[in-house]
Structure 1
Amino acid sequence: MTGSTTPRRALLVANPGSRRGSAALRPVESVFAERGIDLIPIDTAERETLTDRLCDQTHGADLIVAVGGDGTANSVAAATFRTGLPLGLIPAGTANDLARTLGLPLDPAEAARVIAAGQLKAIDLGEVNGAFFFNVASLGLSVKLADKLSSTSKKRWGRLGYLWALLRALAEARPFHAAITGEDGHTILVKTLQIAVGNGRHYGGGMVVEQGADINDGQLDLYSLEFKAVWKLLAIAASFPTGHHGLSPEVRTLRGRRFEIATRRAKPINMDGELLGATPAIFTVHPAAIRMIVP
């Protein structure tokens, strides 16, 4: 579903702690002022109450604008789902995977002009136990990575910070047992380093969930890294940016609209780079649930 709208009043959610967040605001404010779009800043100090505060401010608003990375976009997912307001994204993070999936320009002023033009596209939204995600929700290695990757290292080192954190996470990676149940009710028992469930296409700074993954195909793409030795994961590292890792015999891939994942002990879940929730977990997709402003 596509369409267009001419925005006049935007609720602004900006992450000043993102790698380019503060610097990105100035050109955005300038472009919006030229186009006659009023910005209403929303305090982001407490993520737990952000959705309610956004929903309380929607009277007369045309859209929500998020300035930051994938975590910032994730923080407004519930509000866009509940209110039906379109979402405009100014990429200002380290990875910017949602922006990459949607083909958004990384220059803040250019991204602001895209929002001002108001071209709409409906995209899918993933959900895990009541929490939403755009890109990927995962457990295992990615949680170790998030634990090693501090906000300071992301802001200072960018993708080099990701690489260093990944090497440290791999050194500590241990396989775990899980039960994966698909929408047909069939359960698979696995021993894995990581299970990832993708709604979008890109994640982790440019890696691809699956070569055919699309953020508006109404499907989730799951992969499970079932390597007996961690070093074998390094041997196929070059296939992740293209989504061809699923061709390895030690990578299980599944596609569907619903998955249940259970583990012996509760394991935390990484959603768009944020640790939200834990297993047991139910993963579902909401087709065409969010209207995004795109080029």
Structure 2
Amino acid sequence: MSSSPIQSTELSEPIAPVSSYSPEDQPAYASGRLISMVMNTGSGHHAYGHEQLARQLTAYFSEQGFEVDLYLLTEARQLSEVVRQARAKHEREGGVIVAAGGDGTLNTVAQELKHSSIRMGIIPLGTFNYVARALDIPLDPFAAAQVIVEGIARPVHLGIVNDYIYLNNASIGLYPKIIEQRELYNARFGRFRVVAMVSGFVVLMREQQKLKLKMTIDGEQTPIETPLVFFGNNQLQLQDLKLTLAECVAQGKLAAVAITALTRWQMIKLIHRLQVGLFEQAPEVTSFCADQIKIESRVKRMKVAIDGEIVQISTPLIFKVAHNALQVMVPQGVTK
């Protein structure tokens, strides 16, 4: 998905699935064997290939005895509305709503399914696929589909900022600028990990404006000037970044990092510290492990990067964790 805001868009008419398959001999609805799969085919550079894949997966689920509704979307703005429509059907008939896409797509689906008993399935088609990897969901689409058929539902925690959720991370300051630069590079060079890394490095090497904030951490106020505040909710991603805050997430708490303003040379040293696992020991870095963090600013709205998408959110920003707020299909035996 692109860096367009994650938002709910009311459409004039319901969106019907482009195809619906039902096994002849099984009462799928009565047994809760309903699958609704949503995919945004208008994003990325392999849209046609993804459409073919969606139909192959639909056929696979049907062969396994599931009633399948397939939604192929060409615009990201349609996604929230489609999931709301599917949710109403699943509240009556049970089953699984499957998000086929990157972590931005997963976020939008999870936003609509939070605090419900409806199970969410994942077909990872993104660049990094941190959500799937953290839950031991295979990156091969058909192996991931098998997990949806044979796996179990596991409750997972969600990061919350005001009315939005984040599965991986949320941040203000530098990171939204990194996302914007990444999308420019993606449009030119394609969605590859090396492109994301290079675009991020370009932003980090520029002069950055400090944010003057007031943070309230579990009731204790502190002023801070920083170009970046980063909140993580994905233990694997924090481990990949060599951050000990991964243990904070494992405990179901709010993990955050803020840095002071840096020169280019200090930034280079900080990147090196990140690579060798010494990032949190740098004097320019402050880590937080809390139940709730409130961020106040003089500006009325702030750009927040949420799972790779950018939204404008009214201040103050309230960050917390919603425990066991989403039911996700994972392989049997996964308990972490």
Q: Name the TM-score class by shorter chain.
A: 0.7 to 0.9
In structure 2, the partner of 1:10 is: 35
Separation of aligned partners in 1, 2:171 and 2:32: 35
Cα distance, 1:28–1:51 mapped onto 2, change above 3 Å: closer
Separation of aligned partners in 1, 2:184 and 2:117: 31
Q: Which sections of structure 2, spanning at least 5 residues, go unmatched?
A: 1-30, 332-336
Cα distance, 1:103–1:191 mapped onto 2, change above 3 Å: same
Q: Which has the larger radius of gyration?
A: 2
In structure 2, the partner of 1:122 is: 155
Could you tell me which amino acid in structure 1 is paired with residue 193 of structure 2? R
Separation of aligned partners in 2, 1:243 and 1:15: 37
Q: 1:159 touches 1:205 (CA, 8 Å); kept in 2?
A: no
Q: Would you say 1:229 and 2:263 are equivalent positions?
A: yes
Shift of 1:191: 1.4
Could you tell me which amino acid in structure 2 is paired with residue 109 of structure 1? F
The 5 A counterparts of 1:1-295 are: 8-16=33-41, 17-18=43-44, 22=50, 24-42=53-71, 44=73, 45=75, 46-47=78-79, 49-58=81-90, 59-150=92-183, 153=186, 156-170=190-204, 171-183=206-218, 185-203=219-237, 207=241, 210-213=244-247, 217-240=251-274, 244-265=278-299, 266-278=301-313, 279-295=315-331
Separation of aligned partners in 2, 1:206 and 1:101: 11
Q: Residue 116 of structure 1 aligns to a residue in which SS?
A: helix
Cα distance, 1:63–1:101 mapped onto 2, change above 3 Å: same
Q: Residue 173 of structure 1 aligns to a residue in which SS?
A: coil
Q: Residue 12 of structure 1 aligns to a residue in which SS?
A: strand
Could you tell me which amino acid in structure 2 is paired with residue 110 of structure 1? A
Shift of 1:207: 3.6
Shift of 1:30: 4.2
Q: Deviations over 1:132-188 (max 9, x none)?
A: 1111111011100111122771782411221232133222532222111112x1112
Could you tell me which amino acid in structure 2 is paired with residue 85 of structure 1? I
Cα distance, 1:29–1:168 mapped onto 2, change above 3 Å: same
Could you tell me which amino acid in structure 2 is paired with residue 175 of structure 1? K
Q: Residue 190 of structure 2 aligns to a residue in which SS?
A: helix
Cα distance, 1:141–1:204 mapped onto 2, change above 3 Å: farther
Q: Residue 252 of structure 1 aligns to a residue in which SS?
A: strand
Separation of aligned partners in 1, 2:32 and 2:199: 40
Output the TM-score relative to the length of structure 2.
0.77
Cα distance, 1:85–1:216 mapped onto 2, change above 3 Å: farther
Shift of 1:55: 2.6
Could you tell me which amino acid in structure 1 is paired with residue 307 of structure 2? D
Separation of aligned partners in 2, 1:63 and 1:273: 25
- In the TM superposition, structure 1's runs of 4+ consecutive aligned residues that sit over 6 Å from their partners are none
Q: How many residues align?
A: 289
Could you tell me which amino acid in structure 2 is paired with residue 56 of structure 1? A
Q: 1:120 touches 1:291 (CA, 8 Å); kept in 2?
A: yes
Output the TM-score relative to the length of structure 1.
0.86
User: Once structures 1 and 2 are overlaid, which stretch shifts more, 97-106 or 155-164?
Assistant: 155-164
Q: Which sections of structure 1, spanning at least 5 residues, go unmatched?
A: 1-5
Q: Residue 93 of structure 2 aligns to a residue in which SS?
A: coil
Q: 1:10 touches 1:40 (CA, 8 Å); kept in 2?
A: yes
Separation of aligned partners in 2, 1:188 and 1:88: 41
Q: Deviations over 1:224-245 (max 9, x none)?
A: 0224324323323255468652
Separation of aligned partners in 1, 2:104 and 2:56: 21
Separation of aligned partners in 2, 1:28 and 1:205: 32
Q: 1:139 touches 1:269 (CA, 8 Å); kept in 2?
A: yes
